[in-house]
Structure 1
Amino acid sequence: MSLQPFIIRIKTQQGEDVDWTVQAPRLTYSDVLEVIAQALQNNVSNTFEYEDDDGDRIIVSSEAEMQAMMSFYMSIMEECSNSGKMAPPLTLYPRVNNAGKRNFHGLTINTRPVESSLVQKADSGVVLGTGHRHDAELREILANGTMAEAEIQYLEVLGCGHSGTVYKALHKPSNNVIAVKVMHLDISKEGVQKQIASELQILYKCDSPVIIGFYSAFFNEDRISFCTEFMDGGSLEIYKCIPETILGKMTISIVQGLNYLWSLKILHRDLKPSNILVNTQGEVKLCDFGVSAQLDRSIAETYIGTNAYMSPERVLGHEYGIPSEVWTLGIFLLEMATGRFPYPVTPRQQALSPIDLLQCIVHENPPTLSLDKYSQSFSDFVSQCMQKDPNARPPLIDLLQHTFLRMNDGALRQQEIATFICMKLQQLKLQGQTRGL
């Protein structure tokens, strides 16, 4: 699709919108900063934000992130063009520097006690807050890093969201393709600190063929980058609907991954298709541990994760543990088997509001698989996962002995997954639905 003229709307702190009609064939990061500087007049901005489909603010502070934003907006323009509608302006929110309250790195200075900070910036470089509970472990992770920013060649944006941007990249010294997740550090936001600390610690701690491989982490200005294994099949989100037998073979790896995490007293808490990766070798691996919990006991009390996949006890704010992961596994299987999210329970119902969805999870009977389309063993497996009483759900380790998984295990399991992945990727490529794979 050729770039058509469009409007960029710049939000200023004075509450005035500045509209900029763009006709250039290619817009660069420096172009935008120059226009923002003119719009802000006496203020300075080195970064800006835009909103994604979910309304989350995404920070843009580099050329690569600029191009990710433009790809996102071009897809909106194309959808509007196909439906005969006018595309909305691309709205930007400049992040204005306030001299006297920012250090030379451009990070807001945190005036709270040091123990609540993940990192601080100093003239000598990046240092960890000395009072942080996991300080020693985080120091070890960063000290053991084997990759540096200068060694990374960014090839393509794989995806972006509120937690950061993921790139396909080349590690030049080894000539290996890797994935790099770049997260912006805002040391004034404790939730961001905890998310980064959680994901980094879990990636570093895990050593399993069913958990995404972790290579290194490093700081650069106001960003931290995680270098991980690249999975050339992408996430299961792009596959929409997966045949029962292939899904059963994949589920073995998923349950093994959840079991492995639980052996380390870790709850994933955000299991969904976009957080399960596959490759053309037939491997299936869990990723994205930003909201995972490392527990001293078998229960948790926080309300974190993707609401639509939450178990009834989590929706109600009750204590929860590994049975909540089993419920989410059932939701995931229903979605991947049928090609649609299983709520509302009957197909004729319209999409539910977030509040109605949570009410449905708590008060309605759980969705099930039709025996007309799916085997008795698969239907029973999902039904056991989706018992509303958490005590009635089987332990993860017992699920591996269920008939549905045992009948889909075997020496050729990985090869059959690989064949399916390669076939689907070819179909998606012909349809123009793959990117960075």
Structure 2
Amino acid sequence: MDNEAIIIRIKTPLGDMDSSVDSPSLLNFNDLMVAIRDVMPEATVTAFEYEDEVGDRITVRSDEELKAMLSYYLNTVNEQRMNGLLPDPLQIFPRAGKTPGIRNIHGLKVNTRSNPASDCTHAASDSIANNSLKKSSAELKKILTNGQQINAQDIHYQELLGHGNGGTVYKAYHVLGKRVLAVKVIPLDITVELQKQIMSELEILYKCDSPYIITFFSAFFVENRISICTEFMDGGSLDVYKKIPEHVLGRIAVAVVKGLTYLWSLKILHRDVKPSNMLVNTRGQVKLCDFGVSTQLVNSIAKTYVGTNAYMAPERISGEQYGIHADVWSVGISFMELALGMFPYPQIQKNQGSLIPLQLLQCIVDEDPPVLPIGEFTEMFVHFITLCMQRNPKRDLHPTT
């Protein structure tokens, strides 16, 4: 259990930042503080806190206190999994001290007591909001799927498959349906009204019927987390395979383009084409997942999580109007990465992915599109990538290419 990957969620005023830790037993206090300071560069962070079983905040300032926190958390996760429950991320709360140079050198004092009437108003409104959320969340807990009800309590989570700024994906088992699922869990700080709108927008997924699109089974909210249940692909996503031979990529490209063409026929843009959203299984099938059928879900994720999609087309980064052509660009940069075994922009490789988002964005917007090395790939494959990654957004895809 100590060597099993865990998710640490750093809670900041600007939003949550999730980080996957492959070997918790090797984690030390300084490493975690470096990660926190990367997320909060303007703050002077000297420690962090976590919540115990009764909700009390415990401060961590050393390796010993870090080990105690991890031991408590891993025991909690073990109990949750024994009960078939979804393990919660380990939430930590950075403690920011005063910024040097802005200290109170004159000993001034300020009355920080708030207006009692104001406190009552806020408390009352918060109570009403919380009660409303609990009631509505209970109503949203179920959704009919193929004539059956899928309930949160009927899903047993088995394995962490992956994690990113878009949420966490688990391999799970649906007891009543007797099937293995992939369940993507996305924490969202949104209103109940937006939850209902997202659920309404997701209904179109029931109508998707393509061998190149992942099968959708169900979605439900529990409190502030949406769980999206889909077909489980035992081969995983293409981002874990690094460099893939061109003759294999050709067949994958055909499946991806056919899947996108199907979505476009339904007036759906994918919006997030990248290797991690291209799934394979041991039957040789290739399917797309995580497409932007719900505008509200896409927008809510963007507001909740900090980060930039490196596969975005230049026109999206620049804030211009975009359409199918933006998906086409993402296809090009994705397949170039899969062919090379590395991200096509050398700045990203050079800095081990440590470029700040602004630099990365400017790189994609300002520079000429990257090109494949001469002589390493067929003329047809080079032509395909070139068509996808034209600066002028008049790109086109041909499934037979």
Question: What amino acid maps onto 2:87 in structure 1?
Answer: E
CA distance 1:344–1:196, change in 2 (3 Å): farther
Q: Would the aligned equivalents of 1:108 and 1:187 in 2 still touch at CA under 8 Å?
A: no
CA distance in 1, matches of 2:218, 2:268: 21
CA distance 1:319–1:283, change in 2 (3 Å): same
2:386 aligned residue: 383
Task: Report the alpha carbon displacement of residue 340 of structure 1 after superposing the two structures with TM.
Answer: 0.8
Task: Report the alpha carbon displacement of residue 251 of structure 1 after superposing the two structures with TM.
Answer: 0.7
1:10 and 2:55 equivalent?
A: no
2:135 aligned residue: 122
Task: Report the alpha carbon displacement of residue 151 of structure 1 after superposing the two structures with TM.
Answer: 2.5
2:151 aligned residue: 148
Q: Would the aligned equivalents of 1:276 and 1:287 in 2 still touch at CA under 8 Å?
A: yes
CA distance in 1, matches of 2:273, 2:193: 23
1:232 aligned residue: 234
Question: What amino acid maps onto 2:48 in structure 1?
Answer: R
2:42 aligned residue: none
CA distance in 2, matches of 1:353, 1:24: 30
2:113 aligned residue: none
2:340 aligned residue: 338
CA distance in 2, matches of 1:155, 1:217: 18
Q: Would the aligned equivalents of 1:261 and 1:268 in 2 still touch at CA under 8 Å?
A: yes
CA distance 1:155–1:282, change in 2 (3 Å): same
Q: Would the aligned equivalents of 2:137 and 2:221 in 1 still touch at CA under 8 Å?
A: no
Task: Report the alpha carbon displacement of residue 154 of structure 1 after superposing the two structures with TM.
Answer: 1.5
Q: Would the aligned equivalents of 1:370 and 1:379 in 2 still touch at CA under 8 Å?
A: no
1:401 aligned residue: 400
Give the counterpart of 1:164 among 167, 173, 181: 167
Give the counterpart of 1:371 among 368, 374, 381: 374
CA distance in 2, matches of 1:5, 1:333: 35
2:67 aligned residue: 22
Q: Would the aligned equivalents of 1:186 and 1:192 in 2 still touch at CA under 8 Å?
A: no
Give the stretch that moved more between structures: 2-11 or 285-294.
2-11
1:241 and 2:243 equivalent?
A: yes
2:253 aligned residue: 251
Give the counterpart of 2:365 among 329, 348, 362: 362
1:263 aligned residue: 265
Task: Report the alpha carbon displacement of residue 314 of structure 1 after superposing the two structures with TM.
Answer: 1.7
1:176 aligned residue: 179
CA distance 1:141–1:244, change in 2 (3 Å): same
CA distance in 1, matches of 2:156, 2:348: 48
Corresponding residue SS for 1:247: helix
1:43 aligned residue: none
Question: What amino acid maps onto 1:27 in structure 2?
Answer: Y
Give the counterpart of 2:319 among 314, 317, 320: 317
Corresponding residue SS for 2:87: helix
2:277 aligned residue: 275
1:91 aligned residue: 92
Identity of aligned residues (%): 45
Task: Report the alpha carbon displacement of residue 23 of structure 1 after superposing the two structures with TM.
Answer: 4.4
Q: Would the aligned equivalents of 1:108 and 1:188 in 2 still touch at CA under 8 Å?
A: no
Q: How does 1:95-106 map to 2 (within 5 A)?
A: 100-102=124-126
Q: Would the aligned equivalents of 1:232 and 1:278 in 2 still touch at CA under 8 Å?
A: yes
CA distance 1:341–1:292, change in 2 (3 Å): farther
Q: Would the aligned equivalents of 1:155 and 1:169 in 2 still touch at CA under 8 Å?
A: yes
Give the counterpart of 1:65 among 80, 87, 104: 87
Q: Would the aligned equivalents of 1:268 and 1:293 in 2 still touch at CA under 8 Å?
A: no
Once the two structures are superposed, what CA deviation does each residue of 1:6-37 show, in whole Å capped at 9, x if it has no partner?
A: 6693169xx995543434884347869xxxxx
Once the two structures are superposed, what CA deviation does each residue of 1:182-237 show, in whole Å capped at 9, x if it has no partner?
A: 33453349887766665x33433312111111112334454433221001011111
CA distance in 2, matches of 1:190, 1:123: 9
CA distance 1:370–1:145, change in 2 (3 Å): same
CA distance in 2, matches of 1:353, 1:185: 24
Once the two structures are superposed, what CA deviation does each residue of 1:126-157 show, in whole Å capped at 9, x if it has no partner?
A: 269xxxxxxxxxx9867955322333222112
TM-score by length of 1: 0.60
CA distance in 2, matches of 1:229, 1:152: 14
CA distance 1:185–1:389, change in 2 (3 Å): closer
Task: Report the alpha carbon displacement of residue 281 of structure 1 after superposing the two structures with TM.
Answer: 0.7
Task: Report the alpha carbon displacement of residue 366 of structure 1 after superposing the two structures with TM.
Answer: 1.0
Task: Report the alpha carbon displacement of residue 325 of structure 1 after superposing the two structures with TM.
Answer: 1.1
Corresponding residue SS for 1:226: strand
CA distance 1:9–1:349, change in 2 (3 Å): closer
CA distance 1:158–1:193, change in 2 (3 Å): farther
CA distance in 2, matches of 1:123, 1:380: 52
CA distance 1:16–1:271, change in 2 (3 Å): same
Count of residue pairs brought into register by the alignment: 315
CA distance 1:360–1:25, change in 2 (3 Å): closer
Once the two structures are superposed, what CA deviation does each residue of 1:149-196 show, in whole Å capped at 9, x if it has no partner?
A: 333222112223444332211122343211122334533498877666
Question: What amino acid maps onto 1:10 in structure 2?
Answer: E
Corresponding residue SS for 2:320: coil
CA distance in 1, matches of 2:383, 2:244: 18
Task: Report the alpha carbon displacement of residue 99 of structure 1 after superposing the two structures with TM.
Answer: 6.1
Once the two structures are superposed, what CA deviation does each residue of 1:280-333 show, in whole Å capped at 9, x if it has no partner?
A: 111111111357659xxxxxxxx9995321222222222111111111111001
Question: What amino acid maps onto 1:229 in structure 2?
Answer: E
CA distance 1:338–1:221, change in 2 (3 Å): same
